[in-house]
């Protein structure tokens, strides 16, 4: 893992009907999602959870990766389960863009 390496987090969402959506996202993708949600819904700025902190050194350490994964999982679960934010076009586009 040298210069330009990154961690991709696998996100799996299951619908009530049992269908699954699986995407792989980088930390920067979560940052963009949060920024887009705040821009589209500024009154929810304080309600949308913060993301785990960014880190330059030691970002490939298993303990750090797991702690960040849990923080991203909490963030995404909050957004998806929120009655207003969850079903928005911003969230749907984030899952649809799996590049």
Q: Is the dihedral of CA 24, 29, 31, 33 positive or negative?
A: negative
- Whether the full predicted model's pTM is greater than 0.85, yes or no, is yes
Closest CA to 44 of 86, 11, 89, 95: 86
- Rounded to 10°, the helix 89-96/27-40 angle is 160
Tens of pLDDT along the chain (99 residues) come to: 345 688 899 998 887 788 888 899 999 999 999 999 999 999 999 999 999 998 777 788 899 999 999 999 999 999 999 999 999 999 999 999 876
The radius of gyration computed from the CA coordinates of the chain, to the nearest angstrom, equals: 14
The answer to whether residues 51 and 71 touch, using CB atoms and an 8 Å cutoff, is yes
Give the pLDDT of residue 2.
Answer: 44
Could you give the count of Cα atoms lying within 13 Å of 65 in the half-sphere of its Cβ?
9
pLDDT at 82: 96
Residue 4: per-residue pLDDT:
61
Q: Are 11 and 76 in contact (CB under 8 A)?
A: yes
For the chain, which domains are there? 26-96 (3.30.1520.10)
């Amino acid at each position: 893992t040298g210069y330009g390496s990154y961690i991709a987090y696998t996100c799996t969402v299951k619908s009530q009907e049992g269908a699954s959506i699986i995407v792989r996202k980088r930390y920067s993708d979560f940052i963009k999602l949060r920024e887009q949600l705040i821009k589209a819904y500024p009154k929810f700025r304080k309600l949308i959870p913060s993301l785990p902190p960014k880190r330059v050194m030691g970002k490939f350490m298993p303990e750090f990766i797991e702690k960040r994964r849990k923080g991203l999982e909490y963030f995404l679960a909050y957004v998806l389960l929120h009655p207003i934010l969850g079903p928005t076009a911003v969230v749907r586009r984030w899952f649809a863009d799996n590049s």
